[in-house]
């Protein structure tokens, strides 16, 4: 029997198509015919999307690289400017130039203030010190000995010690001399204050009493061994830089102040000699040093 045809003219499901007949959809009818997939269009889309993504990533990488190169270049340029400015500033700071008046004054003050430490003891207290004797004859006082460095209050009378302590006295240096005839004994004491301003303030408060000041230093076995506080005939002081240079004098034979008439003290050669020795040592300590004209010596 012939297969029955549907009213639509299409073969029934599961039925065989007539030989030579074509499916209205364009495919040959039969049991194995099916609708085909269309992967070609999807593949092209995926390839195009991948290429666009790669292109976008490449462009982003290029932008990042440009930004990185810009930042590195800016950092290098800034570092170069900083180095250049630092080099110029260092050159200006270290090159030799003339000292200003303020710098010259500070140089002098610092040089004078460190002499008591920088110089040896024999530099502070020379072996011989010139002084003027009778009829202004030049004579020399000879150093007998140098006492150990000591605290200021231990080397002066109590009334003087309180003033030195109040103004920051650092230490006391002392040495004893005799005149050219070994008749007079003189002790010179150098009180070291922290600066010249402190020294000026301290000296304004010191008494003019010539009975108090530095305590004598005697050296056993020498002509000075009988020189003690009671043998002081007169005392005095002079300011020089940050130093107060004290002087005191007496007779080598041990005479006390009470045993000598006041008029003899006033007209004796003893005190002028002692004062001259003290002033000479003060002059050595505070003598203004030669200041170099430039920050690096004599060449600006």
Give the mean pLDDT of 122-131: 96
Q: What is the pLDDT of residue 14?
A: 47
C-alpha torsion angle, residues 84, 86, 92, 95 (rounded to 10): -100
Q: What is the pLDDT of residue 148?
A: 97
pLDDT digits (tens, 9 = 90+) for 84-124: 777 766 656 667 778 888 988 999 999 999 999 999 999 99
Closest CA to 243 of 208, 203, 207, 213: 203
Q: What is the pLDDT of residue 94?
A: 65
Distances (CA, A) of 117 to 120, 146, 171, 275, 296: 7, 15, 11, 24, 24
Say yes or no to pLDDT of 5 above 60: no
Say yes or no to pLDDT of 15 above 70: no
Strands 234-240 and 128-132 turn out to be: unpaired
Say yes or no to pLDDT of 178 above 90: yes
Are 196 and 110 contacting, i.e. CB atoms less than 8 angstroms apart?
no
Higher pLDDT, residue 170 or 25 = 170
Question: Residue 152's CB: how many other CB atoms inside 10 A?
Answer: 23
> 174: pLDDT confidence band, cut at 50, 70 and 90?
very high
Higher pLDDT, residue 269 or 56 = 269
Q: Exposed, middle or buried, 70 (CB in 10 Å: 0-12/13-18/19+)? A: exposed
The number of residues in the chain equals 300
Percent of the chain with pLDDT over 70: 83
Q: What is the pLDDT of residue 17?
A: 46
How confident is the prediction for the chain on average, in pLDDT? 84
């Amino acid at each position: 029997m012939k297969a029955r045809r549907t009213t639509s003219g299409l073969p029934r499901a599961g039925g065989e198509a007539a030989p030579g007949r074509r499916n209205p959809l364009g495919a040959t009818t039969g049991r194995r015919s099916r609708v085909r997939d269309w992967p070609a269009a999807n593949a092209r889309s995926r390839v195009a999307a991948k290429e666009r993504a790669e292109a976008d990533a490449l462009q982003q990488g290029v932008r990042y690289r440009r930004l990185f190169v810009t930042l590195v270049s800016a950092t290098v340029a800034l570092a170069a400017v900083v180095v250049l400015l630092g080099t110029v500033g260092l050159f200006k700071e270290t090159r030799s130039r003339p000292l200003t008046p303020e710098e010259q004054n500070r140089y002098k003050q610092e040089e004078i203030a460190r002499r008591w430490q920088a110089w040896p003891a024999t530099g502070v207290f020379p072996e011989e010190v010139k002084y003027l004797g009778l009829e202004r004859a030049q004579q020399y006082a000879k150093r007998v000995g140098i006492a150990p460095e000591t605290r200021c209050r231990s080397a002066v009378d109590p009334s003087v010690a309180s003033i030195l302590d109040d103004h920051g006295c650092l230490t006391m240096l002392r040495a004893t001399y005799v005149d050219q005839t070994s008749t007079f004994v003189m002790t010179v004491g150098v009180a070291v204050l922290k600066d010249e301003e402190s020294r000026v303030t301290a000296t304004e408060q010191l008494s003019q009493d010539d009975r108090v000041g530095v305590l004598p230093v005697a050296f056993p076995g020498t002509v000075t061994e009988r020189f003690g506080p009671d043998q002081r005939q007169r005392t005095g002081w002079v300011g020089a830089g940050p130093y107060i240079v004290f002087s005191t004098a007496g007779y080598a034979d041990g005479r006390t102040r009470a045993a000598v008439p006041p008029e003899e003290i006033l007209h004796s050669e003893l005190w002028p000699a002692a004062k001259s020795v003290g002033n000479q040592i003060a002059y050595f300590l505070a003598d203004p040093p030669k200041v170099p004209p430039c920050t690096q010596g004599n060449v600006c």
